[in-house]
Structure 1
Amino acid sequence: MRKKPASSESDGQPARPQDYPLRKPVNTLAIVPKSEKITVTARKIYNVMLHYAQRQGVGKDRYQVRLADIATGIDFNSNNTELIKQYFRQMATTGVEWQSPTIGEGARWSVSALIAHADLIQREGELILEWSYAPNIKQELLDPQRFAKMSLQVQASLNTMASLVLYEICCRYADNPGGLTARQPWAWWRPVLTGAPDSPTSAYQEYKIFNRDVLKKAIKKVNEVSDLEIELVEHRTGRAIQDLQFRVRRKTPMIAPSEKSIEPVDLKTIGAAIKAGIPQERAEKHLLKYGAKAMDEALRIMGERTSRSNMEPVRSPDKYLATLLQSGQFGEQKAPAAAPRKVFDTKAERLKLIEHYMALKRAELNDMFQEMPDADQRQWIGRFEAEGLPTSEVVRKAFRTKGIASPIVRPAFLKFLGNSVWEEGWEKPSDSDLVDVAIQLKEEAGPARKR
Structure 2
Amino acid sequence: MEEGEVTRPPPKPAAVPEDQSIAKANEAIAIRPKRGRLTLLSRRIYNALLYHSQRQGVDEPVYRLALSELIGDARFNSNNTELLKSHLRDMQATTIEWSTSGSALKRWVSSQLLGTVTIEEQGRGRPCMVTWRYPDEIRERLVKPHQYTRVLLEISGQMRSYPAAVLYEIGARYLTSPSRLSMREDVLWWAAVLTGRSDITEVDYRFLKRDVISKALAEIEALCEDFSLELIEHKRGRRIEEIQFRVVPKVQQRLGAADDPSRNVFDLELVGKLIALGMKQDEAQDLYASTDEGQLRGTLEHVEQRLRNQSLPVLKSPAAYFKDALKKGYAGVKGPIPPAALSLPPSARPAAALTGGERMHRIRELWEHDRMQKAKALYLEMPEPMQSEMRSRFETERLGEIAAPIARAWRRDGPGSRIAATTFHRWLAKITWPEEPSDRGLLDFALAQGVAGM
1:58 counterpart residue number: 58
Instruction: Note closer, same or farther for the CA distance 1:115–1:16 as it changes in structure 2 (3 Å cut).
Output: farther
1:209 counterpart residue number: 207
Instruction: Note closer, same or farther for the CA distance 1:265–1:131 as it changes in structure 2 (3 Å cut).
Output: farther
Identity, in percent, stands at 30
Offset, 1:63: 0.9
Cα pair 1:31 1:98 within 8 Å, conserved: no
2:116 counterpart residue number: 117
1:138 counterpart residue number: 139
Cα pair 1:120 1:127 within 8 Å, conserved: yes
Is 1:36 matched with 2:40?
Answer: no
Q: Which 10-residue stretch deviates more, 26-35 or 240-249?
A: 240-249
Question: 1:215 is aligned with what amino acid?
Answer: I
SS in structure 2 of the partner of residue 130 of structure 1? strand
2:304 counterpart residue number: 303
Q: Distance in 2 between matches of 1:209 and 1:17?
A: 44
Cα pair 1:26 1:99 within 8 Å, conserved: no
1:322 counterpart residue number: 323
Q: Over aligned residue pairs, what C-alpha RMSD do you find?
A: 3.5
Offset, 1:274: 3.7
> Unpaired segments of 5 or more residues in structure 2?
1-14, 333-454
Q: Distance in 2 between matches of 1:107 and 1:57?
A: 27
Cα pair 2:20 2:153 within 8 Å, conserved: no
Question: 2:238 is aligned with what amino acid?
Answer: R
Cα pair 2:77 2:265 within 8 Å, conserved: no
Cα pair 2:158 2:265 within 8 Å, conserved: no
Q: Deviations over 1:226-268 (max 9, x none)?
A: 122110111223333232211112323546999x99x985413
Instruction: Note closer, same or farther for the CA distance 1:221–1:192 as it changes in structure 2 (3 Å cut).
Output: same
- 1:422-437 to 2 correspondences below 5 Å: none
Cα pair 2:161 2:286 within 8 Å, conserved: no
SS in structure 2 of the partner of residue 177 of structure 1? coil
Offset, 1:185: 2.6
Q: Deviations over 1:92-115 (max 9, x none)?
A: 122112469x999x9954321111
Q: Distance in 2 between matches of 1:172 and 1:87?
A: 26
1:26 counterpart residue number: 26
SS in structure 2 of the partner of residue 157 of structure 1? coil
Instruction: Note closer, same or farther for the CA distance 1:275–1:187 as it changes in structure 2 (3 Å cut).
Output: closer
Q: Distance in 2 between matches of 1:278 and 1:245?
A: 34
Question: 1:65 is aligned with what amino acid?
Answer: L
2:241 counterpart residue number: 242
Q: Distance in 2 between matches of 1:132 and 1:253?
A: 42
1:96 counterpart residue number: 96
Offset, 1:215: 1.7
Q: Distance in 1 between matches of 2:330 and 2:179?
A: 44
Q: Distance in 2 between matches of 1:16 and 1:97?
A: 39
Cα pair 1:45 1:265 within 8 Å, conserved: no
Question: 1:186 is aligned with what amino acid?
Answer: V
Instruction: Note closer, same or farther for the CA distance 1:59–1:292 as it changes in structure 2 (3 Å cut).
Output: farther
Offset, 1:122: 1.2
1:222 counterpart residue number: 220
Cα pair 1:48 1:264 within 8 Å, conserved: no
Q: Distance in 2 between matches of 1:216 and 1:96?
A: 26
Cα pair 2:78 2:268 within 8 Å, conserved: yes
1:179 counterpart residue number: 180
Instruction: Note closer, same or farther for the CA distance 1:156–1:124 as it changes in structure 2 (3 Å cut).
Output: same
Q: Distance in 1 between matches of 2:107 and 2:152?
A: 26
Q: Distance in 2 between matches of 1:245 and 1:25?
A: 20
Q: Distance in 2 between matches of 1:241 and 1:304?
A: 49
Q: Deviations over 1:114-143 (max 9, x none)?
A: 111111111243321111001111111111
SS in structure 2 of the partner of residue 32 of structure 1? coil
SS in structure 2 of the partner of residue 33 of structure 1? coil
Q: Distance in 1 between matches of 2:81 and 2:318?
A: 21
2:441 counterpart residue number: none
Instruction: Note closer, same or farther for the CA distance 1:250–1:269 as it changes in structure 2 (3 Å cut).
Output: farther
Cα pair 1:282 1:318 within 8 Å, conserved: no
